[in-house]
Amino acid sequence: MKTPLKDGLQRVMKENRTRFHMPGHKGRQDFFLPLEWDFTEIPGTDDLHDPNGIIQASQNQAARIYGAKDTYYLVNGSTGGLQAALLAALAPGDSVVVPRNAHQSIHYGIEFAGADPIYLMPLQEKSGLLAGPDPVLFRQTIEAKKPAAAVFTYPTYEGVCWDLQSLIAICREHGVISIVDEAHGAHFSFFPSLPQSAVEMGADLVVQSAHKMLPAPTQTALLHRGSDVVPEAWIREALRRTQTSSPSYLLLLGIEEALHWMSEQHDPEELPALEICREAIRALPGIELLEGKRQDPYKFLISALGRGLSGPDLVQALRASGVEPEWQQGDLVLLMGAPYQNRADWTVLAKALEALPIGDDLNGDSIKPWMIQEIPERVMTTLQARRAKRSFVPIEESIGEILAENLTPYPPGIPVILAGERMTKEIALYLSWLKEKKGRIIGGNDRISIVCE
Ligand SMILES: Cc1ncc(COP(=O)(O)O)c(C=O)c1O
């Protein structure tokens, strides 16, 4: 047998680029544990799905670190954790308030729970970046629709934080379960000067990816119960539905090792150094560092249009300087650092940006991911749309049609339109533009499926 996967990864590794993308361990090998550490549920190894030994002791420590009532180790990413949280919190027919820029895992979780979503478009900051929902509109929606739960994305993929505390307070006042997708915020609790974690703010359920911002392997994540509003037994049961019955001990150990490192070895002094790097980037001519009012400093969202560089040109130039970014769309490029990163990497990044050539793209791309501000008409439920007879059309011919499948630019995995919704001109134009730029669209790379009415 040939080994295309291994060969391909080796080719990428040989490029030896500094990793400004997930996972948060950045490819450093310190935590690698050989297969002799991988077990199954035998005497002495405990059982993730019914823990009362070493796994439980490890999870209890994690709960103490984060200030949670209890914490669950996850081996199917935040995806499995968010879906379990939704399955535990919602009964079929319940309604749930969801930010329109929610990750696909949340939309799927709502679908699995048979719940009814009420979408809210998040507020946009001066930089253009999306933040959280408008508190006034949120309160009105809660009072009018009486949902069982509300989901929040905090921080966003780009690292924008916002006043989540007020929204959690509104939820509490109205008996609404607060579920926070904190996939990108597992490091907050380790730094007093970073935005506060949703667990500390008193959210009922919080899900964090360990693999995004902590030095942990891909797929690892944490679910925290911040209150007793959703009973522990319901969470355990839901986790059995969304995760494998054979959780990898290497992944579980990866979570513990990452938390151990964060607790004992990470350098809290690194934030001032990181700020110096950001300051240097802000001062570079022709480079824009896009930030939220409250920003995770590990995320660098950059446009170099002021130097005549399109997004693909910027990526190419960064690669030539040995830097591999996380994401590019239009003129924007996201570079994702993490606490485990070598300090020297930030200098590599700042130098790579300083050395950018001058290009000749003077117009750039006027389309930005946050430009879609409309919520399309929902004609039928997601499930009805998935089960309906379908046909396949190019995006341009789908305007006015009902989608049979979600269309999700990836990364970051945020659907722009969901199954059961009617395609609008604005969304079709956005998707066509993305396709023309060779962006990946899950569900829409080729022809897209629509419901035959
Ligand atoms: C905001 C957000 N939520 C949830 C997820 C899902 O996380 P995971 O990849 O750990 O399943 C992602 C993944 O990128 C994300 O960006």
* Residue scoring higher pLDDT (32 or 100): 100
Q: Which CATH class is domain 35-264?
A: alpha beta
In this predicted model, which residue has the larger pLDDT, 268 or 280? 280
Closest approach atom of ligand 1 to CA 209: 10
Distance (angstroms) between ligand 1 centre and the Cα of 163 equals 21
Q: Which atom of ligand 1 is nearest to the CA of 156?
A: 1
Residue 29: partners with Cβ closer than 8 Å, 6 or more residues away = none
- 8 A C-beta contact, residue 79 and residue 255: no
Task: Provide the 8-state DSSP code for 134.
Answer: -
What would the pLDDT profile of 376-421 be if each residue is shown by its tens digit?
999 999 999 999 999 999 999 999 999 999 999 988 899 999 999 9
Q: What fold does the segment set 374-451 form as a domain?
A: Ornithine Decarboxylase; Chain A, domain 4 (3.90.100)
163's tokens: 């006043």
Q: Cβ(201)–Cβ(51) under 8 Å? A: no
Q: What is the mean pLDDT of residues 11-20?
A: 95
- What is the dihedral sign for C-alpha 301, 307, 308, 314? negative
Comparison of pLDDT for 225 and 432, the residue scoring more: 225
Q: 368, 290 in Cβ contact below 8 A?
A: no
pLDDT at 368: 76
Mean of the pLDDT values across residues 38-59? 97
- Ligand 1 midpoint to CA 410 (Å): 11
Task: Give residue 450's pLDDT band: very low, low, confident or very high (50, 70, 90).
Answer: very high
pLDDT score, position 369: 74
Q: Which residues contact 30 (CB under 8 A, 6 or more apart)?
A: 215
Mutate to test the pocket of ligand 1, among 212, 244, 255 (most ligand atoms within 8 A of CB): 212
Least confident range from 58-62, 161-165, 436-440: namely 436-440
Tokens 């000067």 map to which residue? 193
CB 270 within 8 A of CB 298: no
Mutate-to-test residue for ligand 1 from 73, 78, 244, highest number of ligand atoms within 8 A of CB = 78
Question: How far apart are the CA of 157 and the centre of ligand 1, in A?
Answer: 8
Using CA positions, which residue lies closest to atom 9 of ligand 1?
77
Residue 423's alpha-carbon distances to 397, 400, 401, 407, in angstroms, are 10, 5, 6, 10
Cα 108 to averaged position of ligand 1 atoms, centre (Å): 12
By alpha-carbon position, which residue is closest to atom 16 of ligand 1? 157
CA of 61 to the centre of ligand 1 (A): 24
Domain spans in the chain, listed from the N-terminal domain onward? 35-264, 269-354, 374-451
Cβ atoms of residues 122 and 148 within 8 Å = no
Token pair, residue 36, equals: 């002799």
Centre of ligand 1 to C-alpha 197, Å, is 16
Nearest atom in ligand 1 to 221's CA: 10
Q: What's the 217 CA to ligand 1 centre distance in angstroms?
A: 14
CATH topology of domain 269-354: Aspartate Aminotransferase, domain 1 (3.90.1150)
Question: In whole numbers, what is the pLDDT of the chain averaged over residues?
Answer: 94
Summarize pLDDT for 57-113 with one digit per residue, the tens. 999 999 999 999 999 999 999 999 999 999 999 999 999 999 999 999 999 999 999
List residues near ligand 1 (CB under 6 A).
Answer: 77-79, 103, 105, 153, 157, 181, 183-184, 209, 221, 412-413
| Segment 314-367, tens digit of pLDDT | 999 999 999 999 999 889 999 999 999 988 999 999 999 999 999 887 776 667
Rounded to the nearest whole angstrom, what is the distance from the C-alpha of residue 389 to the centroid of ligand 1? 31
